Amino acid sequence: MQTISYIIQLAQVSGYLADNDIVRSEFLNNGYLDPLLPTKIYMERKALEWAYGQTVKLGSSPDAALQSAGNYVVTLCGKYGVLAQNIIGGGTGSVVIPASTPVYYIPVEVQFIVDGSSPMPTDSSTLVINDTGINISSFKIFSNTSLVPYNVNTQYSYTYVQSPTYLTLTFNIPAQADQLISYSYLKAI
């Protein structure tokens, strides 16, 4: 059973992690996360903090109701609680060491119409994106507003080769004139 003071720490870190995850999710247009979760965690943590403070003032131990409220907060934290546990150190009191080089992401979106001088010219099967820090897991490319899948032989798709300074996409069908190509990704800075 986790102590109330530990759960309060857990909720503090979880709220941050959830908030961060939601921001990333917005970049990726994956709107399946509850955008209010960080606020909900904050709201319940504040209640827990206050009640725990009163218990400490009285010099008593947390009662069953307070422990139950604490367990509820852990449940609310969900997967972020598990991640927070790794950061905090599993309740052993270890110090949180910030990453020496924190990574931040900015969204990049590019759109063009295929012609003789576009980044991927007419009849070409290759598109080279010269950029650093491309987060490949966030990469999405659309042809005429339809998502182009990765490496599916039976339909229009692409494969890629990535290096630190560029991303080369190879399509299984050459580009057609007036084809609308748009792509987006997160760029680490």
Partner 1 sequence: MFTPNFSISQSASTPSIFTLTDTSAGSDGAITQRRIYIYQSDGTTLVPTGTMTTYVNFPLISGNSIDINVLNIDYALNIIVQWLDVSNTVLYSKQGLYLFTYYSELFYYGLTQFQTSQPNLIDNPNYYGEKMKLRVSLDEAASSVSVGNDITSAEAALTRAQYLINNTILFY
For partner 1, the closer of residues 58 and 99 by Cβ is 58
Q: Which of 151, 150, 22, 157 is nearest to 78 (CA)?
A: 22
Query: Does residue 143 interact with partner 1 by CB under 8 A?
Result: no
Q: What is the DSSP letter of 25?
A: H
C-beta closer to partner 1: residue 69 or 175: 69
The verdict on 47 binding partner 1 (CB under 8 A) reads yes
- Member of 7, 9, 44, 129 binding partner 1 (CB under 8 A): 44
User: How far apart are CB 76 and partner 1 at their closest, in Å?
Assistant: 7
Which secondary structure element, helix H or strand E, spans residue 38, and what is its range?
helix 37-58
Helix (H, G, I), strand (E, B) or coil at 173: coil
Using the contact rule CB under 8 A, the part of the chain among 36-44, 121-129, 138-146, 155-163 near partner 1 is 36-44
CB 36 within 8 A of CB 66: no
CB-facing half-sphere around the CA of 54: CA atoms within 13 A? 7
Please pick, from the candidates 30, 75, 111, 155, the single residue that binds partner 1 as defined by CB under 8 A.
Answer: 75
Sheet holding 158-162, edge to edge: 126-130, 166-171, 158-162
Residues near partner 1 (CB under 8 A): 36, 39-40, 42-44, 46-48, 50-51, 54, 57-58, 65, 68-69, 71-72, 75-76
